[in-house]
Structure 1
Amino acid sequence: MTSSAPLDPIAEARRQWLRRWPEHAERMSAITSVMRVQQLLLAEMERALKPFGLTFASYEALVLLHFSRTGRLPLGKMGRRLMVHPTSITNTIDRLQAAGLVRRVPDPADRRRVLAEISEHGHEVALAATEVVHGIEFGLGSLSERDAVTLSALLRQVRRAAGDFGSEVPDPWATNTR
């Protein structure tokens, strides 16, 4: 949703917070900005993926399977890797299966487990959709590569503090020289 209003609502909220709670104004602005950018990026990704019948969530699941060594993963592992609730990954796999992009197969090592396996058509769609999201630079084309690295590193600090992963996990952005 594009607006021609001569006002940045987040800047205005910041101005108000600076008057009342100046010690919290910058973090309020940051969280509000992050949440708004999340909305904008998700909308851009959804527009790009719509011709493939994919949502961003289903694209992530499809690409995860595409990247996997065998083209198949347990649903539980997929949910953990994608950081979603088990019900969400089940629903996502249901939609991908209905579209012929994945199938459920029994785990040969443990018949109680079900694996999601990407189909040949799923590989094709994953590659084609990825070309499109590369073309829109994941909605972040306004950032330089250096700025994208900085943003990822800053957001990683928040994620680590929230317990997304342990402090022992190496920081891939710490040594990035781009």
Structure 2
Amino acid sequence: MAAPKRLPVDPIAEAKRQWIAHGWEPAAAGMTAVTSVIRAQQLMFARIDATLKPFGLSFARYEMLRLLAFTRSGRMPMASAIARLQVHPTSVTNTVDRLARDGLVTREPHPIDGRAAMLVITPAGLDLVEDATVALNENVFEDVGLTDDDTAELVRIIARFRKDSGDFTDPRPQPDPL
């Protein structure tokens, strides 16, 4: 794929200039932050998508397989997967349906809750996610395009934003053993 032609001006900086010129200065910094994060996400997803394409995976499918592969037994309740992936249940169901159709996961009855399903990664799913992880590490995660210090600062800023937005809470300290 050919690299896109670089624009002669930063369109987000130009949008900020226009925001200010139109009298929306109090909102200009926020608009700039939001559109900058969205554009950065698009750039990162383009690299992720290009890396995962040879494996026949979307990032959603990869995340589900990776989540299951991280478990001790390669299985977890569907409700736990939904909570950990932080996406709408319908999206998780559609992702699982496609993975099951491709023989990468199976659904099994929950051992305690007859209404719930357990998701189980298959050996083929495990092999695929391991290979895809190697590719993502090499092509995306080991060099996201920022210095190590900038990467750490960005993660800290976004984590604080997520926490302040109610995305997660700090874990409570564990009591001392009796």
**What is the TM-score when the length of structure 2 is the normalising length?**
0.87
| Matching residue's letter, 1:62 | L
In the alignment, the residues of structure 2 paired with residue 3 and residue 24 of structure 1 have an alpha-carbon distance, to the nearest angstrom, of 30
Deviations 1:130-153 (A, max 9, x none): 011111223853112221111111
Per the alignment, residue 106 of structure 1 pairs with 109
In the alignment, the residues of structure 2 paired with residue 159 and residue 140 of structure 1 have an alpha-carbon distance, to the nearest angstrom, of 23
Deviations 1:105-127 (A, max 9, x none): 11122232111100111111111
Instruction: Name the count of aligned residue pairs.
Output: 169
Shift, 1:3, TM fit: 2.8
Please, which runs of 5 or more residues in structure 1 have no aligned partner?
171-178
1:39 aligns with 2:72: no
Of structures 1 and 2, the larger Rg is shown by 2
Partner residue of 1:97 out of 63, 84, 100: 100
Identity %: 43
Give the aligned CA root-mean-square deviation in angstroms. Answer: 1.8
Judge conservation of contact 1:41–1:139 (CA < 8 Å) in 2.
Answer: no
1:80-159 matches, within 5 Å, as: 80-138=83-141, 141-159=144-162
Judge conservation of contact 1:41–1:138 (CA < 8 Å) in 2.
Answer: no
Deviations 1:38-95 (A, max 9, x none): 1221222111111111100010000000001111011111011000111111110111
In the alignment, the residues of structure 1 paired with residue 157 and residue 20 of structure 2 have an alpha-carbon distance, to the nearest angstrom, of 23
In the alignment, the residues of structure 1 paired with residue 4 and residue 71 of structure 2 have an alpha-carbon distance, to the nearest angstrom, of 38
In the alignment, the residues of structure 2 paired with residue 94 and residue 148 of structure 1 have an alpha-carbon distance, to the nearest angstrom, of 35
Judge conservation of contact 2:110–2:117 (CA < 8 Å) in 1.
Answer: yes
In the alignment, the residues of structure 2 paired with residue 87 and residue 21 of structure 1 have an alpha-carbon distance, to the nearest angstrom, of 38
Residue 73 of structure 2 aligns to a residue whose secondary structure is coil
